[in-house]
Amino acid sequence: MAGYTLSALEADIRSYTEVGSSVFTGALLSRFIENSEWRILRDVPIDAYRKVSEGNFVTDDNTINVPAKTLFVRGVEVFDSTSVSTGKGEWLLKRDQTFLSEYVDRLTGEEAQDVTGKPKYYAMFGGATAVSSTTSGGIYVAPTPDTTYMYRIYINLMPTSLGTNTSGTYISQYFSNGLLYGCLVEAYGFLKGPMDMLTLYENKYKQEVQKFAGEQVGRRRRDDYTDGTVRIPVESPPQ
C-alpha cells in the first residue's frame, strides 16, 4: 500500500465506509486520524521519533526540564565536563522520587541539605500543564550537581499529526495500512456499527501492529553479525 497524504486518507475512509463528507467532515476525520496516531504511538515505540536533547545543569540545582511533547524518556547521560567533546558520559540510573529522597537523607541526615557531586540517579516528576507548555515535566537528580555538567536526555517525541503535515508523516508513509485500519475502527465506532465491520478492522489493525512492532522493536534493533540471522521454523508436510 502506498503512503498516505491527508487528502488520500480522508478519501479512503469515506470510500471504505461509504459515508460522504456531509457526515464525515474534514474536522471529524482529523479527529479519527489523530486518535489513531496516538493509539499507534502507545502501541509501538517508533524509532523515527527517537530524539536527543542536550543541556547543562545549573550548579546546586537538582532539577532539569524534559523537552515539550516528550512521550517518554529512554535514558539520561551525564558528562564529567561541560561539553561532549571533552567529557566522558555515564548513564544515570532511573529510580522513583522516593528512592532519591531516601538516598540523600542517608548520605546527609534528614536535617541536612542535599549532598552535591556528579549525579548518579534520576527520577521523573510532574508533567505538562497545558498544550502550549514548553516542557513535559521534569527530572530530579541526585546528588545535586556541583558544577555545570553537560547532560543528554534520550526521548521519544510526539510527532506532528498528518492533519498538520498534510503531505505525509512517518506513520502515514511507513505504516499506512495500520493507520487506515485504526481510522476505520474510529469511524465505525462513531457510526455505531455495523459491528462485524468494526470487529473486522479492529482485528486487521491488531494484526498489522504486531508486524510493525516486530519491525520497530525487533528487526531494527538487531543485526545479522551481532545477533545472527532470524530463523523462522517452517513445518514440513507429513510423510
Looking at residues 188-217, what average pLDDT do you find? Answer: 94
> Looking at the predicted structure, is the pLDDT value of residue 120 above 70?
yes
Higher pLDDT, residue 223 or 239: 223
What's the pLDDT score for residue 220?
82
Domain with 106 in it: 58-148
Residue 153, in any domain of the structure = no
Whether 144 and 74 map to the same domain: the answer is yes
Lowest mean pLDDT of 62-71, 120-129, 147-156, name the range. 120-129
What's the pLDDT score for residue 122?
95
**What average pLDDT does the chain have?**
88
Exposure b/e, 211-225, CB count within 10 A at least 16 = b: ebeeebeeeeeeeee
> Looking at the predicted structure, is the pLDDT value of residue 113 above 70?
no
Whether 117 and 190 map to the same domain: the answer is no
Whether 62 and 39 map to the same domain: the answer is no
Lowest mean pLDDT of 50-64, 124-138, 190-204, name the range. 124-138
Residue 239, in any domain of the structure = no
Helix, strand and coil percent figures for the chain, each rounded to 5 = 40, 20, 40
What percentage of the chain exceeds 70 in pLDDT? Answer: 90
Lowest mean pLDDT of 102-106, 158-162, 189-193, 214-218, name the range. 102-106
Among 45-54, 85-94, 134-143, 230-239, the range with the most confident prediction by mean pLDDT is 45-54
Looking at residues 102-117, what average pLDDT do you find? Answer: 68
What's the pLDDT score for residue 238?
75
pLDDT digits 0-9 by tens, 200-209: 999 999 999 9
Residue 129, in any domain of the structure = yes
Whether 72 and 36 map to the same domain: the answer is no
DSSP-derived pairing of the beta strands 93-94 and 116-117: unpaired
Among residues 191, 215, 166, which one has the least CA distance to residue 47?
Answer: 215
Among residues 226, 152, 175, which one has the least CA distance to residue 40?
Answer: 175
> Per-residue confidence at 34, pLDDT binned at 50, 70, 90?
very high
Lowest mean pLDDT of 96-105, 162-171, 203-212, name the range. 96-105
| pTM for this model (two decimals) | 0.81
> Per-residue confidence at 108, pLDDT binned at 50, 70, 90?
low
Among residues 142, 154, 138, which one has the least CA distance to residue 107?
Answer: 142
Unique residue bearing C-alpha cell 496516538: 38
Whether 143 and 168 map to the same domain: the answer is no
Q: Last residue of a domain, which of 99, 129, 148? A: 148
Structural domain count, the chain: 2
What's the pLDDT score for residue 165?
95
Whether 32 and 99 map to the same domain: the answer is no
Whether 121 and 144 map to the same domain: the answer is yes
What's the pLDDT score for residue 114?
56
Nearest-angstrom CA–CA distance, 36 and 169: 13
Whether 83 and 135 map to the same domain: the answer is yes
Task: Report the chain's C-alpha Rg in angstroms.
Answer: 23
> Looking at the predicted structure, is the pLDDT value of residue 230 above 70?
no
Unique residue bearing C-alpha cell 479527529: 31
Residue 226, in any domain of the structure = no
> Looking at the predicted structure, is the pLDDT value of residue 128 above 60?
no
Separation in Å, CA 83 to CA 55, 91, 220: 9, 15, 30
